[in-house]
Amino acid sequence: MKVKAAIYGASGYTGQELTRILSGHPQVELIAVTSRRFAGQRVSDVFPALFGLTALTYVDATPDDIASRCDVVFLALPHGVSMGIAPVFVAAGKKVIDLSADYRLRDLATYETWYAKHQSAELFAKSVYGLPELYREKIKSSSLVANPGCYPTSIILGLAPALKNGLIDPGSIIADSASGVSGAGRDPVVGSLFCEVDGGFKAYKVGKHRHTPEIEQELSALAGAAFAVTFTPHLLPVKRGILSTLYATLKKDITPAGLHDLYREFYRGEKFVRICPRDLYPNISSVAGSNYCDIGMALDIRTRRVIILSAIDNLIKGAAGQAVQNMNLVCGLAEDAGLAVAPVFP
Amino acid sequence: MKVKAAIYGASGYTGQELTRILSGHPQVELIAVTSRRFAGQRVSDVFPALFGLTALTYVDATPDDIASRCDVVFLALPHGVSMGIAPVFVAAGKKVIDLSADYRLRDLATYETWYAKHQSAELFAKSVYGLPELYREKIKSSSLVANPGCYPTSIILGLAPALKNGLIDPGSIIADSASGVSGAGRDPVVGSLFCEVDGGFKAYKVGKHRHTPEIEQELSALAGAAFAVTFTPHLLPVKRGILSTLYATLKKDITPAGLHDLYREFYRGEKFVRICPRDLYPNISSVAGSNYCDIGMALDIRTRRVIILSAIDNLIKGAAGQAVQNMNLVCGLAEDAGLAVAPVFP
Amino acid sequence: MKVKAAIYGASGYTGQELTRILSGHPQVELIAVTSRRFAGQRVSDVFPALFGLTALTYVDATPDDIASRCDVVFLALPHGVSMGIAPVFVAAGKKVIDLSADYRLRDLATYETWYAKHQSAELFAKSVYGLPELYREKIKSSSLVANPGCYPTSIILGLAPALKNGLIDPGSIIADSASGVSGAGRDPVVGSLFCEVDGGFKAYKVGKHRHTPEIEQELSALAGAAFAVTFTPHLLPVKRGILSTLYATLKKDITPAGLHDLYREFYRGEKFVRICPRDLYPNISSVAGSNYCDIGMALDIRTRRVIILSAIDNLIKGAAGQAVQNMNLVCGLAEDAGLAVAPVFP
Amino acid sequence: MKVKAAIYGASGYTGQELTRILSGHPQVELIAVTSRRFAGQRVSDVFPALFGLTALTYVDATPDDIASRCDVVFLALPHGVSMGIAPVFVAAGKKVIDLSADYRLRDLATYETWYAKHQSAELFAKSVYGLPELYREKIKSSSLVANPGCYPTSIILGLAPALKNGLIDPGSIIADSASGVSGAGRDPVVGSLFCEVDGGFKAYKVGKHRHTPEIEQELSALAGAAFAVTFTPHLLPVKRGILSTLYATLKKDITPAGLHDLYREFYRGEKFVRICPRDLYPNISSVAGSNYCDIGMALDIRTRRVIILSAIDNLIKGAAGQAVQNMNLVCGLAEDAGLAVAPVFP
């Protein structure tokens, strides 16, 4: 019998990507997709690419209504909105995969500093951070999975082996990341127009991006002590993809081969992390359309720094794909069900 | 038991796309990929996107060697090279899907006018033109399938319903097409460099493109009489996709609804042809990554012309996907096996 | 003494382009730029590219106020808005270059069929169509120049020599055009988002685009008799550029050399029309950033058709550049003053 | 009387850009452009964008021949080739602007470690590093100007004020840069193909790029002591532009306003350096087509780091534009002659 899934807030790019993946998932029946703006319109009228792949129409349904019909719900809603809806599903005994930031942080005060007053503080403490490569077992038994942010996914996976092994000085970490435009969503704003983005490249929210506390929380957990990072996001003129270039100073001596082995060992058996061959670096175009995180690395002996490169598709491993990976874990399915898809290159 | 497949000339974009699709095909075992230039290198070193998806290494093997090990072979070779190799496989009783132009034309003199002296004239007469929507039954019983060109696929599928129903004047047909750069292959030439293509748009080989006789052959067969077409290819600054804008003068009166019904009826039951809702036109970005051909249409009452829009992914429905569709037919598999993949949008 | 110029509606892409060109024009002093939305903001805050090149701040000033301070005004306003403002400037004895469609058509009923009720019918009859290559002398003595649309500019310049010389059958003309996204303006709409446009190509408003009557008016004037054209616009994933591929059936025999000579002769001495060498076709990337219109051509002997290719930068020769060219004529300056700039390639 | 200039190696992108700028320079007569590959072809056949702007034909002329006819020569040749040719021009009493790396370094051993055996060691010591904002007076009296590399230009201009004022710890500097594809030149290689680059983003030559010693030489000179930097170049899917994101740890306390003032003061009066308003960061699309370097900055108080953003057009301020700026200085012309051109946006 198939898992009955619903998507709340399904008309953005992340919601569309969830719709696309779940429509092709062999063990899932997608039973409802909600959208206030597009209620009454067919999904395939809003996203012609999905014509023939789903017959669903967007509905503007209450959480109670959706909860009565599904086993698992994906919340692809803005920060601040999810926390008003997730409790209904949890109370109804349903599994929730929340793609917003509302349940990602462990410290309520930090959430309220960077975001807003939290309205679901009780559940806040019960969620699990949905990065399967680090928290697989906890996720399996959770009812509320906080799906990680796109930048944090690339950065945490990139630094976990080095931090966990005490290889680098946490205080020296600099995360320089660049994201495709789909990360900004489908809302029509001047900054996302083709003419504003194409041919351009710029940094934004330097030192102020809301993913910073999430990155610091998880990296600090890996290091065993709290510290701050410098995080600089950039906007790339591409549709999909995040590349994080991660800098840190070595605390121990290591050879290039030793560094490579350490990463390969850490991710041995992981289906969605690929360690590049030595001296090759990941390219976002080699993961686009897939749930992979590709990781490469270099030692700069002259400055005693390690440079880690980490690439994902921000809509898949950075959002919808990882959400489905979490759903598979929560529902007892094969972790890669519906996700064993090759990147689309060129 | 799985079908054993091989790809001859697998290191170009079409060969890579075949490798990608066949690696994920549930009823196929890809047993060999050949490349002179990259012999000895792993596929995933040449195309990092395929890392973890195939363990194959390129070989420079003889046709006899490959033929002894496979059930079906794909020839992703330049025009003029296929005809030197296909006969070996046919003689060995293997199925051949040839992606070159060598066996597409029915008239030898036409081939030799537009291409070169043919060296496999006997087989030339025995091939079947591999457009499943028109020649499905013949393909099923064939040993040598001539996979259609990318431009012809989009144009023939776009015009078939109108021509077959005598709706339009064949002599009035103008095919204005635009293709992504992957159609030019992976050979390093100045004209395919990023800096030459990005931000640009131009026509090329106006009135002289080699796909012209192939287009005319199939359109004439549909019309029941020979005629010439004006065909203008353009180069688009995108990686994948062909859009053909097809113009013809009406021979009969028809309403917009009647035109739409005619197309929907003609392609009823076809898995890979999608007729757009009325007043919507296809976009190549809505078929990218899939085997779909999307078709839209308009009537220009003021000039008594019909305008048909036809969109495909040139590497999939225009090459590798259609080749696998043909292989499925030839091998008795479900026609959409390995191909039931949603487009990747955005 | 410098010409004092103002731009009404200066915060869109066309207004920005006018600001850019006029800021570098040696005989012009740009004295005011208006914008309701950005009133009070510096131009360089809205368009950082212009930082250091203009010190102007957007104002929300009345036409009377602006008219009292300038010699010439550019109206870069939406259709329907210009006609409410142009009369103020004309009455004040100022020169007006209107970039909207409000004064382009000669037939009031046609305007009202395709646009809306006209509120400035008297001036409507007194404007001149601002295509210098066809109407140079009239423009010089005009007070109200209707700057042509972007698509019409490329199409009319492309077909003028053939029509004027009776070479082609007017009823056979098909104009297949593709435009960069800047033609859609800077308003934030979903259809202009990077993720919706990049990697895509589609037709839109097939047989219904409002530039159709303008195209037909000017082509009919050249042919000496009224006729209708089929016009299909497409959206290109580039920022700037229009390529029109123009099809027509020959009425007379002509050689390729004869066709080439006819075009070179027609445009002899024109500074902004470049006829490509034989067998070369224009590319929008070779005119981007300049006021050039590049034209190439081919004969398709097999179908007795001529194919003309015409490329412009839609923001320059298709809008702001041509407007400055008109201003130069109206103000008695050298026609290429401020416009003698090389395209930016790559 | 005009300065007579020649370009040696003029058929690459840098050579084309020099041709474009010099063709429009009011005080320069471009008398010869050389190219082995394209000798005998008109510049405008190789670069149609320049049709009508230059009537020159590429020649394969000896240095002696060119030297006898020009006042100043630009060497747009590969590293290692320039040093075989520059001495001829210097001996003939001509001014040389060398765009290769051959004369940029002050230490011969460093050159030979990163490049190859030097064959012009005597002149090596006599060249001046052609960054006008730092070495204006020396350049004016030099006969051999070593035009800086593109990455170094963006990095040195970005860090000069902070280093010169002792604000940052030199050993903490990390330069994370991203370049458009034109930086790789016009040679047809797979890695520069549209399909390999579009939609992608990757690091390359991590810790190994040949611009490293040039960057370290100039930064060390500014700091007054030698140190090593971590430099990571990336490849952007754009034609033009470099953005460098520069990280360093503060040695002194400073406010955001103080930092901004320090940069504005340092570059006061410079025509080609624009300091962004506070809290705004540069975008490569706002300098494309111009000789500007735009600089923005942020303080990350939590980690006591300064982040500097520096944007240039790699073909202009990073190559041909800066070369012309140097020529203007060397020849006693206004420093911005021929270069006072607004960026082309969008």
pLDDT in tens, D180-198: 999 999 999 999 999 999 9
Q: Give pLDDT, residue D1.
A: 86
Task: Using an 8 Å CB-CB cutoff, list chain B residues near A340.
Answer: 24
Place C190 in a pLDDT band, splitting at 50, 70 and 90.
Answer: very high
pLDDT in tens, D279-288: 999 999 999 9
Q: In what helix (H) or strand (E) does residue C247 lie, and over which residues does it extend?
A: strand C242-249
The secondary structure of D296-309 as a DSSP string is EEEEEGGGTEEEEE
Residue matched to tokens 């009565």? A68
CA–CA separation, D152 vs B192, rounded Å?
29
Mean pLDDT, chain C, rounded, equals: 97
pLDDT in tens, D333-344: 999 999 999 999
What value does the mean pLDDT take over residues C185-204?
Answer: 97
Give the total residue count for chain B. 346
Contact D45 C16 (CB under 8 A): no
CA–CA separation, A215 vs A218, rounded Å?
6
Report the alpha-carbon angle A302-A307-A310, nearest 5: 165
CA–CA separation, C207 vs B303, rounded Å?
9
For residue C262, the one-letter residue type is L
The β-bridge relationship of strands D293-300 and D273-275 is: parallel
Query: What backbone torsions phi and psi does residue A209 show, to the nearest 5 degrees?
Result: -70, 140
CA–CA separation, A218 vs A211, rounded Å?
11
Give the closest residue to B72 by CA, choosing from B98, B107, B100: B98
Tokens for B341?
């993949």
What value does the mean pLDDT take over residues C49-73?
Answer: 97
Place C286 in a pLDDT band, splitting at 50, 70 and 90.
Answer: very high
The secondary structure of A69-128 as a DSSP string is T-SEEEE---TTTHHHHHHHHHHTT-EEEE-SSTTT-S-HHHHHHHS---S-HHHHTT-E
Give the closest residue to C317 by CA, choosing from C202, C189, C156: C156
Contact C201 B307 (CB under 8 A): no
The β-bridge relationship of strands A202-203 and A230-235 is: antiparallel
Tokens for A181?
């435009």
Mean pLDDT, chain B, rounded, equals: 97
Residue C48 distance to chain A (closest CA, Å): 11
CB-CB contact of B33 with B56 (8 Å): yes
Q: Give pLDDT, residue A124.
A: 87
At B245, is the secondary structure helix, strand, or coil? strand
The domains of chain C, with CATH numbers, are 3-126 (3.40.50.720), 151-314 (3.30.360.10)
pLDDT in tens, B286-335: 999 999 999 999 999 999 999 999 999 999 999 999 999 999 999 999 99
Q: Give pLDDT, residue C125.
A: 85
Q: What number of H helices and E strands is found in chain A?
A: 12, 13
Half-sphere exposure at residue D27, Cβ-oriented, CA atoms within 13 angstroms: 18
Any chain B CB within 8 A of the CB of A185? no
Query: What backbone torsions phi and psi does residue A23 show, to the nearest 5 degrees?
Result: -65, -25
Q: In what helix (H) or strand (E) does residue C30 lie, and over which residues does it extend?
A: strand C28-33
Task: Using an 8 Å CB-CB cutoff, list chain D residues near C43.
Answer: none
CB-CB contact of B145 with B200 (8 Å): no
Query: What backbone torsions phi and psi does residue A133 show, to the nearest 5 degrees?
Result: -65, -20
Contact B288 A240 (CB under 8 A): no
CB-CB contact of B132 with B335 (8 Å): yes
pLDDT in tens, chain D (346 residues): 899 999 999 999 999 999 999 999 999 999 999 999 999 999 999 999 999 999 999 999 999 999 999 999 999 999 999 999 999 999 999 999 999 999 999 999 999 999 999 998 889 889 999 999 999 999 999 999 999 999 999 999 999 999 999 999 999 999 999 999 999 999 999 999 999 999 999 999 999 999 999 999 999 999 999 999 999 999 999 999 999 999 999 999 999 999 999 999 999 999 999 999 999 999 999 999 999 999 999 999 999 999 999 999 999 999 999 999 999 999 999 999 999 999 999 9
| pTM score of the predicted model | 0.98
For residue B246, the one-letter residue type is L
Contact B199 C288 (CB under 8 A): yes
Tokens for D321?
């534009």
Q: Give pLDDT, residue D284.
A: 98
**Sequence-distant (≥ 6) Cβ neighbours of residue D139 within 8 angstroms:** D128, D130, D132, D145, D326, D329, D330
Q: Which residues of A are catalytic?
A: 150
How many other CB atoms sit within 10 Å of the CB of residue B239? 28
Half-sphere exposure at residue C143, Cβ-oriented, CA atoms within 13 angstroms: 14
Strand A293-300: give its sheet, edge to edge.
Answer: A202-203, A230-235, A174-179, A242-249, A305-312, A293-300, A273-275
Any chain A CB within 8 A of the CB of D195? yes
The CA-atom distances, in angstroms, between A241 and each of A17, A142, A283 are 14, 29, 9
pLDDT in tens, D85-109: 999 999 999 999 999 999 999 999 9
pLDDT in tens, D206-237: 999 999 999 999 999 999 999 999 999 999 99
Residue B121 distance to chain D (closest CA, Å): 36
Tokens for C310?
């015409």
pLDDT at B124 over 90: no
Q: Give pLDDT, residue A1.
A: 86
Radius of gyration of chain D (CA): 20
ipTM of the prediction greater than 0.95, yes or no: yes
Any chain D CB within 8 A of the CB of A161? no
The CA-atom distances, in angstroms, between A131 and each of A7, A75, A218, A330, D57 are 20, 17, 10, 12, 61
**Sequence-distant (≥ 6) Cβ neighbours of residue C89 within 8 angstroms:** C63, C66, C67, C73, C95, C96
Mean pLDDT, chain D, rounded, equals: 97
Contact C276 D343 (CB under 8 A): no
In chain A, what is the straight-line distance between the N-terminal and C-terminal CA atoms, in Å?
Answer: 37
The CA-atom distances, in angstroms, between A191 and each of A204, B259, C187, D238 are 11, 41, 11, 18
Q: Give pLDDT, residue B125.
A: 85
Give the closest residue to C216 by CA, choosing from B149, B300, A232, A200: B300
How many other CB atoms sit within 10 Å of the CB of residue D198? 25
Q: In what helix (H) or strand (E) does residue B126 lie, and over which residues does it extend?
A: none
Residue A242 distance to chain D (closest CA, Å): 8
Tokens for A206?
């330097």
The CA-atom distances, in angstroms, between D46 and each of A2, C324, D22, D129 are 61, 30, 17, 32
Tokens for A124?
């806040």
How many other CB atoms sit within 10 Å of the CB of residue A40? 10
Strand ranges for chain A from DSSP E: 3-8, 28-33, 72-75, 95-98, 128-129, 144-146, 174-179, 202-203, 230-235, 242-249, 273-275, 293-300, 305-312
Q: Give pLDDT, residue A212.
A: 97
Q: Can you say how many angstroms the Cα of residue C203 is from the centroid of all Cα atoms in its chain? A: 20
CA–CA separation, C66 vs C32, rounded Å?
7
**Sequence-distant (≥ 6) Cβ neighbours of residue D83 within 8 angstroms:** D100, D102, D103, D118, D119, D120, D123, D124
Percent of residues, chain D, with pLDDT higher than 70: 100
Give the total residue count for chain A. 346
CB-CB contact of B96 with B121 (8 Å): no
Q: Which residues of C are catalytic?
A: 150
CB-CB contact of B8 with B85 (8 Å): yes
**Sequence-distant (≥ 6) Cβ neighbours of residue A260 within 8 angstroms:** A275, A278, A297
How many other CB atoms sit within 10 Å of the CB of residue C93? 9
- Longest distance between any two alpha carbons in chain B, whole Å: 62
Chains that touch D (3 or more CB pairs under 8 A): A, B, C
Half-sphere exposure at residue B147, Cβ-oriented, CA atoms within 13 angstroms: 32
Strand B3-8: give its sheet, edge to edge.
Answer: B28-33, B3-8, B72-75, B95-98, B144-146, B128-129
Nearest CA in chain B to A16: B345
CA–CA separation, A332 vs A315, rounded Å?
23
Beta bridge partners of C195: none
Any chain C CB within 8 A of the CB of B51? no
Q: Enumerate residue ranges in chain A where pLDDT < 70.
A: none
Task: Using an 8 Å CB-CB cutoff, list chain C residues near B306.
Answer: none
- Longest distance between any two alpha carbons in chain C, whole Å: 62
Any chain B CB within 8 A of the CB of A280? yes
Query: Which of A203, A245, A300 is closest, CB to CB, to D281?
Result: A203
CA–CA separation, A275 vs B73, rounded Å?
32
